[in-house]
């Protein structure tokens, strides 16, 4: 179970009496135990039952019924005095890096990971140093406050390494593909649990996205989606996109779901909410959903050679 003793101290220091709790999908099953432990410690507890994928989506409606919101699993993407962020650490044996060694071509690499493993970065860098490889770990921007941390929407810490080769340690291929598109560096991805390493290739994703763009070309209407979620709202960007086409209209929504997009009736959409939606969920969407850089290309405001991943950078 997520340990709560330090959290209880923090809550007492703030002299709060009621606590709202928010868990991302992978940790939600721990809600009953964590809630019971805090209730036994004397706090009134309310749990947010809505789905949550990042610290960009704080349960502010649940917070209305408590003194403070405790958000588990993520580092802050926005600073609020009434929110306590409790990132959760996942350990692995750094000897897992052995699997990546044969794929590395240079002696100076960038090293990045996701929030769950950031605490292991110095041990990973030491492992690589002992094998003659200098690992550069760099700070990102305000949206990724932990040094060496990347998000699915922010690769600033990878870019800041300035390295021609980057090692991403974590699960899944979305982050390393995003890093490759954002940095144009060679990227090796290591899953520290399966101990499988691979060089990533963004070409397949780019080809898939080109097909979506081709479908959107000539669409009679574009809905420019703006999120109402606290850390996903990019109104400035959305307004700039609307100005690119007289077929575009702003659409504000909380959940970007296939049914809602269908009901609204636009021929195509441009997503300025969580950048991953367009990449991960296109197969579920009834019409093309473009990223902002893709819409810029379609409107002639960006060249195809300048194709890049959609990032949500700190203001
Ligand atoms: Fe994660 Fe998307 Fe939120 Fe970025 S916007 S933190 S990728 S859920």
User: What is the domain partition of the chain in residue ranges?
Assistant: 5-86, 94-199, 203-306
- Ligand 1 centroid–CA 175 distance in Å is 11
Of all protein residues, the one whose alpha carbon is nearest to atom 6 of ligand 1 is 54
Residues 206-216, mean pLDDT to the nearest whole number: 98
- Ligand 1 centroid–CA 277 distance in Å is 9
- Residue 152 CA: nearest ligand 1 atom is 7
Examine the pLDDT at 11 and tell me if it is beyond 90: yes
Note whether 5-86 and 203-306 share their fold.
yes
Give the mean pLDDT of the chain.
96
Residues 108-115, mean pLDDT to the nearest whole number: 98
Q: What is the pLDDT of residue 61?
A: 95
- Residue 232 CA: nearest ligand 1 atom is 5
Q: What is the pLDDT of residue 315?
A: 79
What does pTM read for this prediction? 0.94
Examine the pLDDT at 294 and tell me if it is beyond 90: yes
Residues 73-90, mean pLDDT to the nearest whole number: 94
Sheet containing 248-253: give its strands across.
248-253, 222-227, 268-271, 289-290
In this structure, the residues whose C-beta lies within 6 A of any atom of ligand 1 are 53-54, 56, 77, 151-153, 232, 274, 276, 312
Q: What is the pLDDT of residue 282?
A: 95
Taking the C-alpha atoms of residue 310 and residue 289, their distance in angstroms, rounded to an integer, is 13
CATH superfamily of 94-199: Diphthamide synthesis DPH1/DPH2 domain 2 (3.40.50.11850)
Q: What is the pLDDT of residue 202?
A: 96
- pLDDT band (50, 70, 90) for residue 1: confident
- Residue 143 CA: nearest ligand 1 atom is 6
User: Above pLDDT 90, what percent of the chain?
Assistant: 97
Of all protein residues, the one whose alpha carbon is nearest to atom 1 of ligand 1 is 54
Model pLDDT for residues 57-72, shown as the tens digit of each residue: 999 999 999 999 999 9
Taking the C-alpha atoms of residue 311 and residue 151, their distance in angstroms, rounded to an integer, is 9
Please tell us whether the domain made up of 203-306 is placed in CATH 3.40.50.11860. yes
Of all protein residues, the one whose alpha carbon is nearest to atom 2 of ligand 1 is 274
Strands 222-227 and 248-253: parallel
CATH superfamily of 5-86: Diphthamide synthesis DPH1/DPH2 domain 1 (3.40.50.11840)
**Best mutation site among 312, 313, 314 for ligand 1 pocket (most ligand atoms within 8 Å of CB):** 312
Structure tokens at 306: 């300048």
């Amino acid at each position: 179970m997520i340990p709560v003793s330090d959290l209880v101290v923090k809550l007492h220091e703030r002299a709060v009496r009621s606590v709202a709790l928010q868990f991302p999908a992978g940790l939600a099953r721990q809600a009953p135990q964590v809630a019971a432990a805090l209730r036994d410690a004397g706090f009134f507890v309310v749990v947010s039952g809505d789905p949550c994928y990042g610290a960009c989506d704080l349960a502010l409606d649940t917070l209305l019924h408590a003194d403070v919101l405790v958000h588990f699993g993520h580092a802050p993407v926005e600073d609020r005095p009434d929110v306590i962020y409790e990132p959760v650490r996942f350990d692995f044996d750094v000897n897992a890096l052995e699997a990546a060694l044969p794929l590395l071509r240079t002696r100076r690499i960038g090293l990045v990971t996701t929030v769950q493993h950031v605490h292991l970065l110095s041990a990973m860098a030491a492992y690589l140093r002992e094998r003659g490889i200098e690992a550069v770990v760099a700070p990102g921007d305000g949206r990724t406050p932990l040094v060496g941390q990347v998000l699915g929407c922010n690769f600033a810490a990878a870019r800041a390494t300035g390295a021609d080769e980057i090692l991403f340690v974590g699960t899944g291929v979305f982050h390393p593909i995003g890093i490759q598109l954002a940095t144009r560096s060679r990227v090796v991805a290591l899953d520290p649990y399966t101990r499988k390493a691979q060089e990533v290739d963004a070409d397949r994703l780019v080809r898939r996205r080109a097909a979506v763009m081709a479908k959107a070309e000539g669409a009679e209407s574009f809905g420019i989606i703006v999120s109402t979620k606290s850390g996903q709202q990019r109104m400035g960007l959305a307004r700039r996109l609307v100005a690119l086409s007289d077929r575009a209209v702003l659409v504000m929504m909380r959940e970007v779901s296939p049914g809602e997009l269908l009901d609204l009736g636009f021929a195509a959409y441009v997503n300025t909410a969580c950048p991953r939606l367009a990449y991960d969920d296109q197969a579920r969407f009834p019409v093309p959903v473009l990223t902002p850089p893709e819409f810029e290309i379609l409107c002639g405001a960006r060249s195809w050679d300048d194709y890049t991943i959609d990032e949500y950078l700190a203001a």
